[in-house]
Chains A and B, each alone.
Chain A
Amino acid sequence: MSLIEAQGLVKRFGDFTAVDGIDVRVEAGEAFGFLGPNGAGKSSTMRMVGCVSPPTDGQLRIFGMDPVRDGPAIRSRLGVCPQQDSLDLELTCLENLTVYARYFGIPRKVARERARELLDFVQLGDRADSPVEPLSGGMKRRLVIARALINEPEIVLLDEPTTGLDPQARHLVWERLFRLKQRGVTLVLTTHYMDEAEQLCDRLVVMDAGKIVAEDAPRALIERYSTREVVELRFGLDGLDTYADKLAGVGERLEVLPDRILLYAADGDDAVAQVHGRGLTPSSVLVRRSTLEDVFLHLTGRTLVD
């Protein structure tokens, strides 16, 4: 049985359709991602799965149960790390966890032990008795992750777990999430960072405007929708379109962005040689491997982070 099963899932807010009929299946033990830009419907989907937002239409089953009827039973087995930290700023770090544990009916003694362990796990052990407010963004996010684990959940829902964090703080969060994954916890996360999706997800769906536009393992998506390598060319700011004509036929495909041209080719260096062969002199040339960003660009014609 799949842990999460959605069929034709729809969420509308008035006239606005946030989620427009998606089919999703998440199996036990996998790390599943929703990749898409802001407003793609990722958070709305996560809130429905978290049983805090009733679906407008379609089928949704979590642990084989109905989120509207069995909300409390489902939520008792979920760990939720929402996009906004939603910590209790009036309480200390330890209290944030012990108070939260009580909402799950965890006995006080067990709650205290688990809270200490989790604070150590997210490397906040020495902050147990300090208030939440002065913590950095990365520390707060780690505390939220610890809070999400207090009930030893079978699924952890992470909505944009590293948005707004600096690179170092992000890597620390990723490393902790990777450990969770190794322990066999099912992770479901949303992100608009392709590197996050590539690093953490076994399988992901690409979402755009409330719909799923592709679904597979990150590597497989790249192989299917992009070439092995990409050449980024810059020619100053004007007349990129005229260069596009001159580059026709080089590589398999080309995308004109506001500030650069992307050439998709199996062999990047060969493509660069062809560009020079046509007498063109770009101001900068970068050959790199294809990423999920390229997949998204190909599928939707837009970039992930705008």
Chain B
Amino acid sequence: MVTTALALPRAARRIDEGLRRSLAVTGRNATLARHLGYWWLLASGFFEPLLYLLSIGFGVGALVGELPLPDGRTVPYAEFVAPAMLASSAMNGAIAESTMNLFAKMKHMRLYDAVLATPVTPVEVAVGELIWATVRGGMYCAAFLVIMVAMGLTTVWGALLAFPATLLVCFAFGGAGMLLATFMKGWQDFDYLMAAQFALFLFSGTFAPVDSFPTVARWLMELTPLYHGVELVRAATTGTFQWVLLWHLAYLVALLVVTLRFAGRRMGGLLLK
């Protein structure tokens, strides 16, 4: 009894201190974000999904007409595509921040050599960077949701529900991106990542429901992470709630926890020789 009574506050304090140090890592990026040039970099990530939505959602959408949702209702194509663009942009934003930037900070700027000489540990660096990746991704998502509401592609409630879903997508892909960054040898590896990201973007129930593909292809798609993100965000913006959402939720949380854990360990191995 006594030991648990003592151990609990101690564990809580450890997590508290760890989180504070992680936020200090996030704070470094926030400090940089006060510099002017940084915002131009951010703007680029916002326009891409918007352009896709305009060209495919509305352009192609005019030819496609209405699409059925899992609960049997039908919606205009733009309403079907918009949440998928949102989830993809959350993924792209989080991956950009966590792979390229983490890789640059680790290998080229040698930023963490100095950070790890302080009480901050590799896992705390990983968590801090992940929070920043999510802040950045979250900003894209919030802006995109405002546009969706303005265009009548979702309701305000739908947008408010979708926002935390997009944050989870950011977190999960941020974690995965960070883990991948620890395996990257050079910049050419990022070409493979871009190709993989683009494949996910095309085949995750983004432009067409997965059940319109052959069975084997469908299974494959259902294994990939963006599919779960798209389904979750689409359920929120279209107001389609089914038990299967719990599975999507669990998948993304598991992806986050597992990748973050391994990313922290691998960063430790790479930096603390």
Chain A residues with CB under 8 Å of chain B are: 13, 50, 52-54, 71-73, 75-76, 78, 80, 82, 84, 86-91, 95, 98-100, 102-105, 147, 151
Q: Quick one: closest A residue to B273, CB to CB?
A: A53
Say yes or no: B31 contacts A95, CB within 8 Å: yes
A80 contact from B28, B35, B117, B271, Cβ within 8 A: B117
Bound CA span A148–B104, Å = 23
A88 contact from B28, B121, B272, B273, Cβ within 8 A: B28
State whether the Cβ of B212 lies closer than 8 Å to any Cβ in chain A: no
Say yes or no: A53 contacts B117, CB within 8 Å: no
**Chain A residues whose C-beta falls within 8 Å of the C-beta of B35 in the assembled complex:** 90
Bound CA span A84–B17, Å = 29
Say yes or no: A73 contacts B119, CB within 8 Å: yes
**Chain B residues whose C-beta falls within 8 Å of the C-beta of A104 in the assembled complex:** 118-119
Say yes or no: A71 contacts B121, CB within 8 Å: yes
Q: A72-B121, A103-B120 are in contact. Are A82 and B113 (CB under 8 A)?
A: yes
Chain B CB within 10 Å — which of A52, A75, A103 has the most?
A103
Bound CA span A75–B21, Å = 13
| B165 CB, nearest partner CB in chain A, Å | 31
**Chain A residues whose C-beta falls within 8 Å of the C-beta of B119 in the assembled complex:** 71-73, 75-76, 103-105
**Chain B residues whose C-beta falls within 8 Å of the C-beta of A71 in the assembled complex:** 119, 121
A75 contact from B17, B31, B118, Cβ within 8 A: B118
**Chain A residues whose C-beta falls within 8 Å of the C-beta of B21 in the assembled complex:** 103, 105
Bound CA span A82–B113, Å = 9
B32 contact from A73, A80, A91, A151, Cβ within 8 A: A91
Say yes or no: A100 contacts B32, CB within 8 Å: no
State whether the Cβ of B115 lies closer than 8 Å to any Cβ in chain A: yes
Say yes or no: B115 contacts A103, CB within 8 Å: yes
**Chain A residues whose C-beta falls within 8 Å of the C-beta of B161 in the assembled complex:** none
Say yes or no: B121 contacts A86, CB within 8 Å: no
| A97 CB, nearest partner CB in chain B, Å | 11
| A67 CB, nearest partner CB in chain B, Å | 11
Top 10 A-B residue pairs of the complex, sorted by shortest distance between their CB atoms: A103-B118, A102-B24, A72-B119, A80-B117, A86-B114, A76-B119, A99-B28, A86-B113, A103-B120, A103-B24
Chain B CB within 10 Å — which of A53, A75, A76 has the most?
A75
Q: Quick one: closest A residue to B20, CB to CB?
A: A105
State whether the Cβ of B116 lies closer than 8 Å to any Cβ in chain A: yes
A interface footprint on B2-38 (CB within 8 Å = 1, 0 otherwise): 0000000000000001001100110110011001000
**Chain B residues whose C-beta falls within 8 Å of the C-beta of A95 in the assembled complex:** 31
**Chain A residues whose C-beta falls within 8 Å of the C-beta of B31 in the assembled complex:** 91, 95, 98-99
State whether the Cβ of B254 lies closer than 8 Å to any Cβ in chain A: no
Bound CA span A53–B32, Å = 29
Q: Quick one: closest B residue to A147, CB to CB?
A: B114
Say yes or no: B272 contacts A50, CB within 8 Å: no
State whether the Cβ of B109 lies closer than 8 Å to any Cβ in chain A: yes
| A65 CB, nearest partner CB in chain B, Å | 13
**Chain B residues whose C-beta falls within 8 Å of the C-beta of A82 in the assembled complex:** 113-114, 117
Bound CA span A202–B118, Å = 27
Bound CA span A53–B271, Å = 9
State whether the Cβ of B111 lies closer than 8 Å to any Cβ in chain A: yes
| A144 CB, nearest partner CB in chain B, Å | 8
Say yes or no: B114 contacts A87, CB within 8 Å: yes
| B227 CB, nearest partner CB in chain A, Å | 36
Say yes or no: A76 contacts B113, CB within 8 Å: no
Bound CA span A216–B21, Å = 40
Bound CA span A234–B114, Å = 46
Say yes or no: A78 contacts B117, CB within 8 Å: yes
Say yes or no: A76 contacts B114, CB within 8 Å: no
Bound CA span A53–B272, Å = 5
State whether the Cβ of B110 lies closer than 8 Å to any Cβ in chain A: yes
**Chain A residues whose C-beta falls within 8 Å of the C-beta of B113 in the assembled complex:** 52, 82, 84, 86
